[in-house]
A and B are shown apart, each in its own frame.
Chain A
Amino acid sequence: MRYALTLALLLVMAFSAGAQAPPIKIGFASAMSGPAAITGEGVKWGATLAVEEINAKGGVMGRKLEAYFADNKAQPGEAVSAVRKLADVDQVDVIIGQTHSGACLGAMPVVKEIGIPMVIEACSHPKIRELSGKGGNEWTFRVALDDEIMAHTFARYIARTGVKSSSILAMNNDFGRGAAIAYEAAFKKANVKLLSTDFFDPGQPDYRPVLTRIKRAGAESILAVILASDGAPFMRQYHEVGLTQRVFSRGSLTTAEFLHQVKDNPKIGDGVIEASYWINTLDPEWDKKWTERYKVPPRVHGSLAAITLKWAVVPALEIALKKHGKADRQTIRAALEEVDVKDSPLGPIKFDANHQAWINMILIEMRDGQLKILEKLPTSPALLN
């Protein structure tokens, strides 16, 4: 009798384990090592927190999520390895990444070749939009705005502040070079004279030579395409060299991440105005959870990865499961085309024919060591004209 009961119990357990749906595997690719490792660390933190949050609520239609990570070192070649690792070794169903434009452009042909959907959370090179969807790569989707979309609005705003000339200082990578090209055209259209364009490698200790060069160029403003990690030495040396030009930025200069780094002198970035699509007050509950867990303010790339998961990928998974009863790569890809979220923290998420979402653009100013939203603007393809 005892053996029969034990056997029955084992059978019940085995049956229930077999009946439980397998988890949906989400791959996150970002720079986990190298000079840009701060972005990958943030993505790992944000993804872990978001997956825990979703699973705590029962997962997606009863299916738990599992997060897998791969390191693209912010480089195109490494991004290919990262995609192959996630797709072939971890067997993920969808990838979120690659954070860095160069890595995104490197990963795009391989996700197409393998046939795995990749939702881009932060890469802003304009070419990504051209190549996605009807551009030829039906497997890539992008939530982030690109610099061509933002450049004309931002350049017009800069012109409205009375600025007549500008110098561009941008990161020496696909993100920086893509932005520099976009702003060169946008400045021309907005009648802002571009006096110089310079590039720098991330992690520079000394910006004084290039700041001196900009000073000599005599522009009324600087457009800095720069991340928070380089922002602190840049702003300190801007004051050291004695520049008075207005600073406009793209990247993550006006973020809590930057202010955390310059907490000895938070007003060092006062006056900087940045064109962005994320700021840490968009989702106060998320900010609270992040800060409690990691003891530092929410990081931009980690938060964008989490938003992409929660507001683009999860809705796609729900559509796929409801319509087809499965969430494999092909059905997730098709479902992403149907995603129509009206109220994500970034604004509406609905992918167009080029698989580009038209989220809100935000102008953020640093004032008295605080971040202030100056304007929140809806975007549309009309901005490209």
Chain B
Amino acid sequence: MYAMVAAGLALMLGVARLINFAHGEFFMLGAYAFWYAYSEWGLPYPLAALLAPAVMVLFGIAYQRSVIRAILPRSWHVQLIATLATSIVLTNLAIIVLGAQPKEVPTMLSSRILALGGFRIVWQRLLVLAAALLIFWALQRFVACTRTGKAMRAMSQNREACAVVGMDVQRVAMVTFALSAALAAAAAALVSPLFNIFPDMGTTLTLKAFAAVVAGGFGYVNGAIAASFLIGLTEALAGSYVSYAYKDAIAFLIMIAVLLWRPQGLFGRRIGI
């Protein structure tokens, strides 16, 4: 979950050089889109899980056109305030429109347990792992091989130069936001059957994903993914062996430790996806 959300956040940072503090709300909206398709419309799980990212692609485009386009040339202070404000507005809109009652979307796989000796895991978690690996592989191929992917990489290196040679930077930014929103929604559709969907669910997630992006090397997608796994694993171990109450602090301790040791992040070289 952290990895897919952090990958989207890193993409935006790499390409648009903007930290989207409303990214957790992309995840939240994706989860609600999935809930609506799966529980309210009664669509089969695979179809609902595909529909949520499709809806969020449209949302990502709308967000880029309405919010990002206006703030992209402005200073980071403006970008921070605008994306943070969007996050607060989206969370409270969700409370007003969808209500504060947590939604449950259990699937067949979320209660079936695979027991191997002392090891027990629900099948949904295995699906999450397999789907996440597939999505990361597809993302790598997209960025490395497609024309748009190459444009994204070019923009992450030098946006001004891209504009000078005639590249439509706003269009590339739009594709990046659409892709990031779809990644967040895919993560939401995969993990929502394991816990509750509620309006505030994205807030902490944004901060954790941000910690992963920073620790992984500002805007470096593979770094963000690796750092997310590191944070998730450390959190689980800390929650189990040290203190569950302070496990959330672990992500930020890792971030601080990495920044002290390697200010450019674990895998960071320069801004680049």
Interface residues of A (CB under 8 A from B): 32-35, 37-38, 40-41, 172, 198-201, 203-206, 208-210, 212-213, 229-230, 232-233, 236, 239-242, 261-265, 296
Contact = CB atoms under 8 A, between A and B. Distances in A.
A190 B111 CA distance: 36
Given A203-B200, A265-B106, A209 B236 contact: yes
A32 B238 CA distance: 32
Contacts of A32: 95
22 contacts: A32-B95, A33-B91, A35-B198, A38-B100, A198-B244, A198-B245, A205-B191, A205-B195, A206-B195, A206-B236, A206-B239, A209-B237, A209-B239, A210-B239, A213-B240, A213-B244, A232-B195, A233-B195, A236-B106, A240-B122, A264-B104, A265-B111
Given A203-B204, A239-B111, 11 more contacts: A40-B100, A41-B99, A41-B100, A205-B191, A209-B235, A232-B104, A233-B196, A236-B110, A236-B194, A261-B104, A263-B104
Interface string B98-116: 0111101010001101010
Given A209-B239, A213-B239, A37 B100 contact: yes
A242 B120 contact: yes
A265 B113 CA distance: 15
Contacts of B110: 236
Given A209-B239, A265-B106, A242 B100 contact: no
B247 interface: yes
A37 B101 CA distance: 8
Contacts of B14: none
B117 to A, nearest CB: 11
B102 A38 contact: yes
Contacts of B196: 203, 205, 229-230, 232-233, 261
B121 interface: yes
A274 B57 CA distance: 45
B148 interface: no
Contacts of B121: 240
Considering the complex of A and B, which 6 residue pairs feature the smallest CB-CB distances, nearest first? A209-B239, A37-B100, A210-B244, A199-B245, A209-B240, A38-B100
B236 to A, nearest CB: 5
Nearest to B192: A205
Contacts of A236: 106, 110-111, 194
A225 to B, nearest CB: 13
A236 B191 CA distance: 14
Contacts of A37: 95, 100, 198-200
B201 interface: yes
Interface in B198-219: 198-201, 204
Nearest to B125: A240
Contacts of A33: 91-92, 95
B102 A41 contact: no
Contact of B240 (A40, A210, A230, A264): A210
Interface string B232-252: 000111111101110110000
B102 A232 contact: yes
Contacts of B91: 33
Nearest to A37: B100
A279 B100 CA distance: 21
A32 B157 CA distance: 44
A188 to B, nearest CB: 22
Nearest to A265: B111
Contacts of B244: 198-200, 209-210, 213
Given A33-B92, A35-B198, A265-B111, A212 B102 contact: no
Contacts of A233: 194-196
Nearest to A260: B101
A239 B113 contact: yes
Nearest to A198: B244
A306 B4 CA distance: 44
B245 A201 contact: yes
Nearest to B115: A242
Contacts of A265: 106, 111
A338 B95 CA distance: 39
Interface string B64-104: 00000000000000000000000000011001000111101
Contacts of A239: 111, 113
Contacts of A203: 196, 198, 200-201, 204
